[in-house]
Chain A
């Protein structure tokens, strides 16, 4: 709970008076404020700079250094102040946290110094407010990366935890520097890619003449040699592909990845060529397929970081490139049309059709100017010059826009990704805080009732059940308890709720419930009447579940103080799991078992309504004056 909100807790508690007239059950007692002191100013001397604040301000966060008794270690008797030999600048932020409930991170501070100070004062950095959290996380990540780099450069050869063979292989493939075998494999494949590409290229070079026939390309002259080379390369590539496929952690994802597609495309032509015979019809297609062998050059992108970055760049600014293409296309079509009609008149014009003029327009706009097509008419020349001038503009203008767009969008994406990642974390934090506070309530409910019982029997010792909750927490829990009493329902956590729902959906019938009760109560006690794990709901559930339940079954006695016809049949249901849905109406004074898991004999018979009974579902219709004749009997 935030500090500032804690200041409103008295108000919330006072406003709870509004529930009282509608509540049907007696309310639990309020936690007593044992040591109620007048608020006093305390002086905190941090390296000579004096800060003063109220004691209650610091006590808002009792699990930090300043909020707990730990600060007494720093108390200086002579000067009657608390002296801390720490950085006063950071202390300013820390103290503001107590005052406002929000922890800020000053940008000029070093991240590790700040972390150290927070650790000293016992404050978790996770509660840094949203305004400063991103900055804090960024700096922390940079720092961590720096540390990691240092670590990596120190010990390169640290022993990894034993991975499976498959995982080691995958790591070897992805990161060749991990082992020498991987490095060897990396270089071998690189070499063979190069060999394959070079053979593809050299194949087509004319290679001297065989006497008696025309000039042959080397591929046909030394066809056997080239075929052997090709086979060897394809063997290597196939083996590599199969190994990668085997080692991939997610085969489906691997198959869909770009690199694997390139691999497949690179080796397919060979196999297709093997399969197909020298059929005249398909040999043309076969020749085309050999073009795909050039894709082997893309396999180099595994070896080159730069190629990968380039590919990613192109992919990420695809829309800008598309726009460039589109605007170019528009200009080409316009100018081609104009040139065609301008040159229509001249004889022997090369501008035979508009598509034919496309070539001229492209060549002119990109300022290539091959000269194979030139306008001859005056109009044609005019438009031609306009075309070449505008070509410069159309090409040159979008490019910086694209570049800056790309840079802007790239950074924006980075920021958006960061924010999205942090948003999930932020929402998770909020959710955790919420469940934390509600879990704290549920937890203390189980323990707190124990405390109340102990207090009433006069045992002065506190903190029997581990950590004592702070006063503010106990007051907040008391408030939630009053709400439970008002509505006759209990708070439970999510898992319990899911279980309840599942079980209620499984058992639709109100089983052995007494008809009068079910008709009268009408609430869904029936659907939750059978739950397997109820014991966590017991206030005194420190015993292990089964043992408690068996004891309950043996020893629950329900005695009613006033005559309530609805509950006469309650005894019959005692045969059920006793703490079962037969939560008798808390209105009717009733008994609960008094099993307490502490060594003191459980023969507590506190008078009055010291133990609020577990929330009962059965509301009562007629409410006569209820005498508080609650008799508690422990039957063990």
Chain B
């Protein structure tokens, strides 16, 4: 230290440490291929891509950006956990970023898919480790994240065990053979019998 104080030592070369990785860019598939993959029309794909590219000029959404964007819709609460689950549900190939293809394929299922496909998508969302079974812990995590989005100022006051209760009710409803997990078949069967759920699945048909 003292040598450098006396000016005898050259200062350390700090140029190497600033090696910046240029941001990765991604170009989507062609319009025709995407049209084949999804049920959107060309114009819809165009307007979707314009919105997507405007927000994410690099063509990718990483998890942090995704969380930020999704949190803006829920100012009262904390939407980051649910956004994390959503991100995993959309990121089909699990590479940590949502490309436009993932985005548009997911949207196609949600908006233009059959009820069966939508329910499968929802099951995929709840099944955090993608092993084909929804356990109580997974459901509890999902439920907590949904309740987190409500924030603190709710009526009635949010209690600690509200998510747990909700999960219990869910399992009572869905888990036919009471084995503690919900399989895809149990899920589909129960949902198809529930009129409320079936109705609400049609709710967002004309979002685009």
Same complex origin of A and B = yes
User: A497 touching B172 by the CB < 8 A rule?
Assistant: no
User: A20 touching B155 by the CB < 8 A rule?
Assistant: no
User: B156 touching A19 by the CB < 8 A rule?
Assistant: no
Encode B75-117 as 1/0 by CB contact (under 8 A) with A: 1100000000010010000000000000100110011000000
User: B170 touching A22 by the CB < 8 A rule?
Assistant: yes
Interface: B152 (CB within 8 A): yes
User: A497 touching B119 by the CB < 8 A rule?
Assistant: no
User: A480 touching B201 by the CB < 8 A rule?
Assistant: no
Residues of B within 8 A of A38 (CB): 43
User: A16 touching B55 by the CB < 8 A rule?
Assistant: no
Interface: B51 (CB within 8 A): yes
Closest to A6 in B: B51
Residues of B within 8 A of A23 (CB): 196-197, 200
Residues of B within 8 A of A26 (CB): 196, 199-200
Interface: A300 (CB within 8 A): no
Residues of B within 8 A of A490 (CB): 154-155
Interface: B187 (CB within 8 A): yes
Given contacts A14-B107, A522-B165, A617-B156, contact A476 B73 (CB under 8 A): yes
User: A492 touching B154 by the CB < 8 A rule?
Assistant: yes
User: B51 touching A8 by the CB < 8 A rule?
Assistant: yes
Interface: A479 (CB within 8 A): yes
How far, in whole Å, are A484 and B197 apart by their CA atoms in the complex? 15
User: A493 touching B55 by the CB < 8 A rule?
Assistant: no
Which of B76, B153, B165, B194 is in CB contact (< 8 Å) with A619?
B165
Interface: A623 (CB within 8 A): yes
Which of B89, B162, B208 is in CB contact (< 8 Å) with A523?
B162
Encode A379-400 as 1/0 by CB contact (under 8 A) with B: 0000000000000000000000
Interface: B72 (CB within 8 A): yes
User: B70 touching A12 by the CB < 8 A rule?
Assistant: yes
Q: How many chain A residues have a CB neighbour from B under 8 Å?
A: 77
* Closest-CB distance, A612 to chain B (whole angstroms): 12
User: A496 touching B155 by the CB < 8 A rule?
Assistant: yes
Q: How many chain B residues have a CB neighbour from A under 8 Å?
A: 65
Encode A233-266 as 1/0 by CB contact (under 8 A) with B: 0000000000000000000000000000000000
Interface: A13 (CB within 8 A): yes
User: B110 touching A524 by the CB < 8 A rule?
Assistant: no
The B-contacting residues of A in range 618-632, CB under 8 angstroms, are: 619-623, 625-628
The A-contacting residues of B in range 113-151, CB under 8 angstroms, are: 118-119, 121-122, 125-126, 139, 142-143, 146-147, 149-151
Interface: A500 (CB within 8 A): yes
Residues of A within 8 A of B122 (CB): 17-18, 20-21
Given contacts A14-B107, A438-B76, contact A493 B153 (CB under 8 A): yes
User: A528 touching B156 by the CB < 8 A rule?
Assistant: yes
User: A5 touching B155 by the CB < 8 A rule?
Assistant: no
Given contacts A7-B51, A27-B203, A38-B43, contact A1 B72 (CB under 8 A): yes
User: A492 touching B203 by the CB < 8 A rule?
Assistant: no
Given contacts A10-B207, A38-B43, A489-B155, contact A25 B51 (CB under 8 A): no
Interface: B166 (CB within 8 A): yes
User: A18 touching B86 by the CB < 8 A rule?
Assistant: yes
* Closest-CB distance, B64 to chain A (whole angstroms): 15
Encode A485-527 as 1/0 by CB contact (under 8 A) with B: 0111111111011001100100000000000000000111101
User: B157 touching A615 by the CB < 8 A rule?
Assistant: no
Given contacts A9-B73, A27-B200, A491-B76, contact A14 B158 (CB under 8 A): no
Interface: B159 (CB within 8 A): yes
Closest to B154 in A: A489
Closest to B139 in A: A22
Closest to B85 in A: A18
Interface: B58 (CB within 8 A): no
User: B208 touching A491 by the CB < 8 A rule?
Assistant: no
* Closest-CB distance, B34 to chain A (whole angstroms): 16
Residues of A within 8 A of B43 (CB): 38
Interface: B191 (CB within 8 A): yes
Which of B110, B162, B199, B208 is in CB contact (< 8 Å) with A17?
B110
User: B150 touching A487 by the CB < 8 A rule?
Assistant: yes
Residues of B within 8 A of A537 (CB): 155
Residues of A within 8 A of B178 (CB): none
Closest to A5 in B: B72
* Closest-CB distance, A468 to chain B (whole angstroms): 20
Residues of B within 8 A of A489 (CB): 147, 150, 154-156, 158, 162
Residues of B within 8 A of A482 (CB): 200, 203
Interface: A11 (CB within 8 A): yes
* Closest-CB distance, B176 to chain A (whole angstroms): 14
Encode A470-485 as 1/0 by CB contact (under 8 A) with B: 0000011001101110
Interface: A437 (CB within 8 A): yes
Closest to B153 in A: A497
Interface: B42 (CB within 8 A): no
Interface: A30 (CB within 8 A): yes
User: A30 touching B155 by the CB < 8 A rule?
Assistant: no
Interface: B69 (CB within 8 A): yes
Which of A8, A15, A27, A627 is in CB contact (< 8 Å) with B55?
A8
User: B169 touching A619 by the CB < 8 A rule?
Assistant: yes
How far, in whole Å, are A26 and B166 apart by their CA atoms in the complex? 16
Interface: B16 (CB within 8 A): no
* Closest-CB distance, A625 to chain B (whole angstroms): 7
How far, in whole Å, are A522 and B76 apart by their CA atoms in the complex? 25
Given contacts A491-B150, A492-B155, A494-B153, contact A625 B204 (CB under 8 A): no
Given contacts A12-B73, A523-B162, contact A7 B55 (CB under 8 A): yes
Interface: A50 (CB within 8 A): no
User: Taking each of B76, B159, B193, B199, which has the highest tally of chain A beta carbons within 10 Å of its own beta carbon?
Assistant: B76
Residues of A within 8 A of B150 (CB): 483-484, 487, 489, 491
User: A483 touching B204 by the CB < 8 A rule?
Assistant: no
Interface: A202 (CB within 8 A): no
How far, in whole Å, are A22 and B142 apart by their CA atoms in the complex? 10
Interface: B33 (CB within 8 A): no
* Closest-CB distance, B30 to chain A (whole angstroms): 21
* Closest-CB distance, B55 to chain A (whole angstroms): 5
Interface: A4 (CB within 8 A): yes
Encode A21-43 as 1/0 by CB contact (under 8 A) with B: 11111110110010000110000
Pairs A–B under 8 Å by Cβ, sample size 19: A2-B72, A5-B73, A10-B207, A17-B203, A18-B86, A21-B126, A27-B196, A30-B204, A434-B76, A438-B75, A475-B207, A489-B147, A489-B156, A491-B151, A523-B156, A525-B156, A622-B172, A625-B195, A626-B196
Besides A13-B207, A491-B76, A625-B193, 9 more A-B contacts (Cβ < 8 Å) are: A7-B55, A14-B106, A14-B204, A14-B207, A17-B110, A17-B203, A26-B199, A487-B147, A492-B153
